[in-house]
Amino acid sequence: MSHNTTIAPTRALRLNPDNHRRKRRPVNCEECRRSKLRCDRQHPCGACKRRKREASCSYDIVAGGIGPLSAQRTTANPRVPAAPNNNTRRIAESPTASLPQPPPPPDCETAQEYLHTRWESVLQRPVPEDDVEPHTLSPLPFGSRMSHEEIIRSLPPKACCDYLVSHFFKHIFALFPILHGPTFQRQYIGFIQQPHEVDLSWLALLFSLCSLALKTIDASDPKLACVWSQLPTSPTPVDVTVSVSRRLLRTAMTCLLQDEFFIRHKFSTFEALLMVLYNLSHNGSVDQGWALLGMALNMGIALRCNENQNLNPIESERRRRCWAGLLTLHTYQGILFRDVDMSYLLNIRSTAPSDVNDTETTDEGITSPPSTRHHGEPTQMSMMMAKVRLFRLSTEICRHISGPSRLDRRLLQEFDAAIAAEQKQWDATYTIDGHPSLLDSTSYAHWCVLQTYAHHLYLLLHRPFHHTKATEFLPTSRDRCITSASALISIHRELYESPLLRNYMWLLNGVTTLKALHAAVALSSCLIDMPPSPAAATANPGGYDLDSFRLEVNAMAVRVASLSSRSNICAKAHRALRHLQAQLGTSEPLTERSEVELQTTFEDWTDIREWMDGDLVNWNLDGAYSIFGSGAI
């Protein structure tokens, strides 16, 4: 690395006849160079002060060779000794620091380590220049490397960790069942007995699992007292829950980075990366996992998880489950980036996991289902099987609505029928005669989750036909948009209010609320296209109670406002809902221009990159009837 600023050689260097190269001072301190920040060259520099890393701010003098492999490190300013960083401090305090150290590795290994370190630095996101904690969670952490002991100490206490793991498998696992429960339990017990014997990738899986579980538990849960007791102060439980959950997820990524997951592909790495991606998708930041998802796809192919390998039944099922989980994660991304054709994934041959419970998968094979399970009763893998079918269906629909065939009414009917067939199957599997089971609230929660996919796909399909000003207007499409939008908002209300679904309220922190927000925009577009006058029977042939729809939007705004303290996405969604309330509650008649603008708003919101990810939305609600700015994203 070349530098423009040089300093005079020190006296020690002048006395060394073998040293013919002048020592040069780097432009940036070590922390700014690693984080790709502008450095003011002070000691400590301004960037390190803002990030409270004054102790790590140091300038290393390097020789004028090529790259740091030939560098000789010393303090840039002999009068100001460089403060030791965390790694140096740990080495100095280590009881083995005085023991004879092994010889340095060969040059090729050193070069590989340096290359990996540079990759870490390149892929790290820039650190914010202010002291405000960012609302979005960067998937690649910044900061000093952590020792194995420090990583283990970052976990919650054992009692709390046990509770988080148990909560995950009881309430979250079936939504993303990439693990084999008995296998994970054996691994966890082995970790408790010998915590220093597990690899970093498995620790990343544990940290991500605990992070997700913590985010889904009510902040007032007294069982989390062991977490609060570790903190120096007693802040608001809601704030601490979100903060600690993010810290655990960042530690999970630290484990993957230090395990060199860029170049070392193990199955434990694949499992951990998928769990991190699922975690990110439910923190309101679907787009942040885009690059990591591509890496996971390549890793899964390299590990041949989509192929039949000569492995025992449990190991084969674990790989098939992870491949299925990988496909379902692409559903979020396929919807978010509609212009990216995901259909190539449909052509990759793979074997689906068995639709059985964990206890039915043994080393000897897949045992026959127990007689206590009735025909059609869901298993731990039924949700995953439904999501894989949804991935295939949504991939085909997104390709359809992004191309010239989106106005083809024949294809519209075919896709409608395919969605309806899925809904019929979900009704048979997860409800009792169309009603939620009081004996198994989990089944009802899974039904609600799947229905949000179905109604959201209905909105995408029928959007071009829903408005009377559209050339291809279809009254049936407007009816479908009203019905599906109302259903999505109703499911949002159920997840928020129903005691049966209390353990699944966390779903409202991200994607589910954004789907409901999209539904509110669609419903508003339809309502303003249908004058509420009783005399306008032709404009309201379905006899809809338009006032009740307005009340639904108002109630949703109240719910989203109450969720804003836990979710930045909900905070942003609340602003948009308030604007919609102003549109629906106006006493002045809408002009033709206003109607067209709201119709355009609904069309804009079907660019999923906007309503699925609040960071891409222009939230400056400065126009009378304009939610978005003029520039298309």
Lowest mean pLDDT among 30-34, 172-176, 297-301, 500-504: 30-34
200 and 258 together in one domain: yes
Cβ within 8 Å of residue 533, ≥6 positions away: 539
358 or 373, higher pLDDT = 358
pLDDT of residue 42: 84
- Which tokens go with 56? 């790590």
437 or 111, higher pLDDT = 437
Place of tokens 């709201």: 598
pLDDT of residue 611: 45
The counts of H helices and E strands in the chain are 23, 2
248 and 327 together in one domain: yes
**Distance in angstroms (rounded) separating the CA atoms of residues 1 and 67:** 6
Three-class DSSP category at 40: coil
Amino acid symbol at 202: W
**Distance in angstroms (rounded) separating the CA atoms of residues 30 and 143:** 12
Q: Are 329 and 277 in contact (CB under 8 A)?
A: yes
What residues form DSSP beta bridges with 361? 366
Q: Are 215 and 506 in contact (CB under 8 A)?
A: yes
Residue 42 lies in a domain: no
- Which tokens go with 387? 């999501």
**Distance in angstroms (rounded) separating the CA atoms of residues 297 and 69:** 33
**Distance in angstroms (rounded) separating the CA atoms of residues 90 and 279:** 31
Most confident listed range (198-207, 371-380, 516-525, 618-627): 198-207
Average pLDDT in the 371-389 region? 81
224 or 355, higher pLDDT = 355
Q: What is the largest CA-CA distance in the chain?
A: 101
Angle (deg, nearest 10), helices 409-430 and 382-401: 170
Lowest mean pLDDT among 85-89, 142-146, 445-449, 496-500: 85-89
326 and 426 together in one domain: no
Indicate whether 385 pLDDT > 90.
Answer: yes
245 and 322 together in one domain: yes
Indicate whether 189 pLDDT > 50.
Answer: yes
The alpha carbon of residue 523 and the mean position of all alpha carbons in its chain are separated, in whole angstroms, by: 28
555 and 480 together in one domain: yes
Q: How confident is the model at residue 144 (pLDDT cuts 50, 70, 90)?
A: low
Residue 285 lies in a domain: yes
Residue 279 lies in a domain: yes
**Distance in angstroms (rounded) separating the CA atoms of residues 216 and 93:** 38
Amino acid symbol at 197: E
pLDDT of residue 604: 52
310 and 409 together in one domain: no
299 or 584, higher pLDDT = 299
**Distance in angstroms (rounded) separating the CA atoms of residues 410 and 399:** 16
What do you get for the CA distance between the two ends of the chain, in Å? 37
Indicate whether 114 pLDDT > 60.
Answer: no
243 and 340 together in one domain: yes
**Distance in angstroms (rounded) separating the CA atoms of residues 446 and 493:** 15
Q: How confident is the model at residue 339 (pLDDT cuts 50, 70, 90)?
A: low
425 and 559 together in one domain: yes
481 and 551 together in one domain: yes
**Distance in angstroms (rounded) separating the CA atoms of residues 486 and 484:** 5
438 and 486 together in one domain: yes
Q: Are 141 and 253 in contact (CB under 8 A)?
A: yes
Lowest mean pLDDT among 92-106, 274-288, 365-379: 92-106
Residue 274 lies in a domain: yes
Q: Residue 498's CB: how many other CB atoms inside 10 A? A: 16
Q: Please state, in angstroms and as integers, the Cα–Cα distance from residue 347 to each residue in 118, 291, 331, following that order.
A: 35, 21, 16
pLDDT of residue 105: 44
Domain finish residue from 314, 340, 367: 367
Q: Please state, in angstroms and as integers, the Cα–Cα distance from residue 138 to each residue in 272, 292, 325, 476, following that order.
A: 17, 12, 22, 43
Mean pLDDT of the chain: 75
pLDDT in tens, 414-457: 999 999 999 999 999 998 888 888 888 899 999 999 999 999 99
Q: Residue 603's CB: how many other CB atoms inside 10 A? A: 16
Residue 560 lies in a domain: yes
pLDDT in tens, 239-280: 677 788 888 999 999 999 999 888 888 999 999 999 999 988
pLDDT of residue 235: 53
Amino acid symbol at 583: Q
- How would you write 130-166 as a 3-class SS string? CCCCCCCCCCCCCCCCCCHHHHHHCCCCHHHHHHHHH
Residue 47 lies in a domain: no
Q: Are 611 and 605 in contact (CB under 8 A)?
A: yes
Q: Please state, in angstroms and as integers, the Cα–Cα distance from residue 217 to each residue in 210, 231, 242, 407, 448, following that order.
A: 11, 18, 10, 44, 19
**Distance in angstroms (rounded) separating the CA atoms of residues 41 and 29:** 7
Percent above pLDDT 90 for the chain: 35
Q: H-type helices in 464-617, by residue range?
A: 475-497, 511-528, 546-563, 568-585, 592-605, 608-611
pLDDT in tens, 5-20: 444 444 443 444 444 4
Structural domain containing residue 243: 137-229+237-367
Q: How many CA atoms lie within 13 A of 412 on its CB side?
A: 20
* 435 phi/psi in degrees, rounded to 5: -115, 150
Q: Which of 329, 287, 391, 292 is nearest to 610 (CA)?
A: 287
Lowest mean pLDDT among 138-147, 332-341, 419-428: 138-147
Three-class DSSP category at 227: helix
Q: How confident is the model at residue 213 (pLDDT cuts 50, 70, 90)?
A: very high
pLDDT of residue 121: 39
Percent above pLDDT 70 for the chain: 67
**Distance in angstroms (rounded) separating the CA atoms of residues 633 and 630:** 10
Cβ within 8 Å of residue 560, ≥6 positions away: 513, 517, 570, 573, 574, 577
Amino acid symbol at 330: H
- Which tokens go with 532? 């509420």
360 and 411 together in one domain: no
Residue 119 lies in a domain: no
Domain count, the chain: 2
Rg, the chain, Cα only: 28
pLDDT in tens, 537-571: 444 555 678 888 889 999 999 999 998 877 777 88
Q: How confident is the model at residue 98 (pLDDT cuts 50, 70, 90)?
A: very low
Please report the beta strands in 289-435, taking only residues with DSSP state E, as ranges in sequence order.
361-362, 365-366
151 and 278 together in one domain: yes
Q: Are 299 and 269 in contact (CB under 8 A)?
A: yes
pLDDT of residue 5: 41
Indicate whether 468 pLDDT > 60.
Answer: yes
Q: Are strands 365-366 and 361-362 parallel, antiparallel or unpaired?
A: antiparallel
Indicate whether 90 pLDDT > 60.
Answer: no
Lowest mean pLDDT among 40-49, 283-292, 498-507: 283-292
Residue 308 lies in a domain: yes
604 or 465, higher pLDDT = 465
pLDDT in tens, 124-135: 333 333 433 444
Query: pTM here?
Result: 0.71
**Distance in angstroms (rounded) separating the CA atoms of residues 374 and 118:** 56
